[in-house]
Amino acid sequence: MGVTPVAPRADVAAIVVGGGGGERLGGVSKPDLTLGGVRLIDRVCGVLVEACGAGCVAVVPPTVRVPEGVVRTLEDPPSGGPLAGIDAGLRALGVDDDVLVVVVSVDAPGVGAFLPALLEPALGEGVEGRIVRGGDPEPFDQYLMGVYRAGALRRVIDEAVAALGSVRGVGVRRVLRALALERVRVDADVCRDIDTPEDVAWWQDFLGN
């Protein structure tokens, strides 16, 4: 899994969605999981802080220590799901509509491998974002591994709130699929997230810990 450094960009911000309660991992705090001697939140935010000059927000509970240079926020009320987390992260960033916002779940330790493909080449005219397409056994759209124009992201979230009353508990795919998106294919290993003890073991082995 090659990692290509991304030069810092003043027009790119990031939201790290902290994830649920890690029920399939025994209730462990996902951001605090240690892989290769590094907490997940430190590993993911470390990549994004270097690349995203317009700011980085982590949507995590107060019990999670955030890395230096990262702003903490949380959906209100908590446990509203990833779309509510993205909404809270956008509010905390407060960036202009033309800023690009990288949205990544905290359990995506492969972010350093797929981030360059999200940011290069530049999004075409009329394109509102770019997401990873990958997975096992069949590739699928990874909306929590993507980059979006801030204005477009705000628009579809506001439309969902107007239609549904709230985005609490609303699926990410249900709302973000309305955007005009490009897809970039990546290897299944690159976009492997961490939901089960088997996933933890796979990443521990991959990272040599």
The answer, yes or no, to whether the previous bond of 137 is cis (omega within 30 of 0) is: yes
The pLDDT assigned to 195 comes to: 86
**Which residues, given as ranges, of the chain have pLDDT below 50?**
none
State which residues form the domain around 136. 12-206
pLDDT attached to residue 24: 58
Q: Taking the model in full, what pTM does it have?
A: 0.94
**Contacts of 172 by beta carbon, 8 Å cutoff, 6+ apart:** 81, 82, 83, 86, 143, 144
Q: Give which of 101, 67, 81, 109 is closest to 18, Cα–Cα.
A: 81
Q: Assess contact for 156 and 150: CB atoms under 8 A.
A: no
- CATH number, domain with residue 161: 3.90.550.10
State residue 110's pLDDT score: 92
CA atoms within 13 A on the CB side of 101: 29
Residue 17 lies in a domain: yes
Confidence (pLDDT) at 19: 66
Name the domain count of the chain. 1
pLDDT of residue 26: 61
